[in-house]
Amino acid sequence: MKHLYLLPLLAALTAHAAEERLPYACDNGSRIDISFSTDADGRPQATLHFADEALILPQVPTASGTLYRRGEIRLRSQGDNALFEDGKGNLRRCTRGTTPPASNPPAPAAASSFIQIGGSVSYLAHATLPPDARRRTEIAFLLALGGFIVEGRIDLFVETRDEVIVVDFKSDAEQDASHHRAQLSLYRRAAAGLAPGKRVIVGLYWLRTGEIEWQAEDLSEATLLDLARRAAEALDNSSA
């Protein structure tokens, strides 16, 4: 299981722009949609589209290629390649386009009982997944949350025609889902952005017992923002 970490943004987040979004596949497995346009005064800008919000970076002078920047967040593009710096020293190398995996990676062996369970909470009587279901593992994502960026990986992402099932594997000695409520709340938001318009179901797979526990109610946005601020403060204190 990959842990989330939060990165402060030094810019305002805006609604999605109407310009054409160009997909960029990045070296950590994540994907960023970018649209290029001009502002009201005709100045070039790039918009980074995250799961449910967007960040606008104005173009600034540079010796080579094209550079868009707001505060310490930078996007440098040259041809079909782009470099994204998140302001905390993390660099993503991205290429225009999407590169689907050669084959769906196999699900972890411990999750085999989940695969025999169906595509929604109502399918719990050992039903099978619909034939159109697509299973993927270790799905990287970036999620804008207020003044922060959340980066993480989803252990198991199952997508059907109408819904998405997100499962995180846990080996905790004590099965207490409340300890992971914030994480699943963020995963649901991320999955909704990855599969717009589809119903999203999130849950935990307890490796010690083989049980699945679904999350019915997420934390509020205000609570998630408060947790993000506290996490950012802890990161700042640890690096001071």
Per-residue pLDDT of the chain (240 residues; tens, 9 = 90+): 333 444 333 222 333 334 688 888 888 787 888 888 888 877 888 888 876 677 888 888 876 678 888 887 889 888 788 888 877 777 888 888 876 323 334 333 333 333 333 232 333 323 346 677 888 888 888 888 777 778 888 888 999 888 999 999 888 888 899 999 999 999 999 999 999 999 999 999 888 787 888 998 999 988 988 888 887 777 666 655
- Show the DSSP H helices in 52-195 as ranges: 112-115, 181-194
**What are the structure tokens assigned to 4, written together?**
């989330």
* Dihedral angle, C-alpha 38, 196, 105, 134, nearest 10 °: -140
Dist. CA 69–CA 111, nearest whole Å: 43
Dist. CA 185–CA 168, nearest whole Å: 12
Note the pTM of the prediction, 2 decimals: 0.53
Q: Which domains does the chain have, with CATH numbers?
A: 10-96 (2.40.128.200), 109-226 (3.90.320.10)
Question: Tokens 């689907």 belong to which residue?
Answer: 100
Closest by CA position to 190, among listed 144, 155, 136, 135? 144
